[in-house]
Structure 1
Amino acid sequence: MNWLSRAADGSVILTLHIQPGAKKTEFAGLYGEALKIRLAAPPVDGKANAALIAFLAKTCGVPKASVELVSGDTSRSKRVRVSGADPESLERLFGEDCTG
């Protein structure tokens, strides 16, 4: 899957397209070669980034400290590193939401 890659240190890099200010926080399928996530948080003062990290940590079953924004701090296109998560589990988990 193009939106998920593995880093040399065993962590997983997710390529995301973010839609802040949505009605609710959820996965919204694929957006090109990125995983689209709708966030209820507004894109103000880092609130959307904080909501994204919390949402991914909860979904992936890892602490928030294990989710790091690698690039795209002020962009809708983001890359996020998730440490301590099993790549195969993430492919299955996100794949179920992204097959449409």
Structure 2
Amino acid sequence: MILQLKVKPSSKQEGVTLDGDIVVVKVKERPVEGKANKAVIALLAKKLKIAKGCIEIISGKGSKLKRVKIDCADEDEITMKLKEA
């Protein structure tokens, strides 16, 4: 499954929410040397309860708008976990 992400680095609180079809990911890390990207992967893996190796940023590594590819889980399961509070 491929997800569209909007990343908000340097946030005070971390979290994953849905805004229409876009997943908003807030991370505390600053966008320096890929730290925010690593934090995005770690946070998504925790939220979806899958391994970090199952998530890959396929575009937008230097941008706030990213596309990620998620393996190891089916689309319905991912959608359900993202909708959970």
- For normalisation by structure 2, the TM-score amounts to 0.89
* Gap runs ≥5 in structure 2: none
Whether 1:68 aligns to 2:51 is no
Root-mean-square deviation (Å): 1.4
**Which ranges of 4 or more aligned residues in structure 1 deviate by more than 2 Å?**
none
C-alpha contact (below 8 Å) 1:61/1:85 kept by paired residues: no
Q: Distance in 2 between matches of 1:51 and 1:19?
A: 11
Is this contact kept in 1: 2:16–2:44, CA < 8 A? no
* Distance of aligned partners of 1:27 and 1:74 in 2 relative to their CA distance in 1, 3 Å threshold: same
How many residue pairs match? The answer is 85
TM-fit CA distance, 1:40: 0.9
Q: Deviations over 1:63-91 (max 9, x none)?
A: 11111000000000000011111211111
Consecutive unaligned residues of structure 1, counting only runs of 5 or more, are 1-11
Normalised by the size of structure 1, how large is the TM-score? 0.77
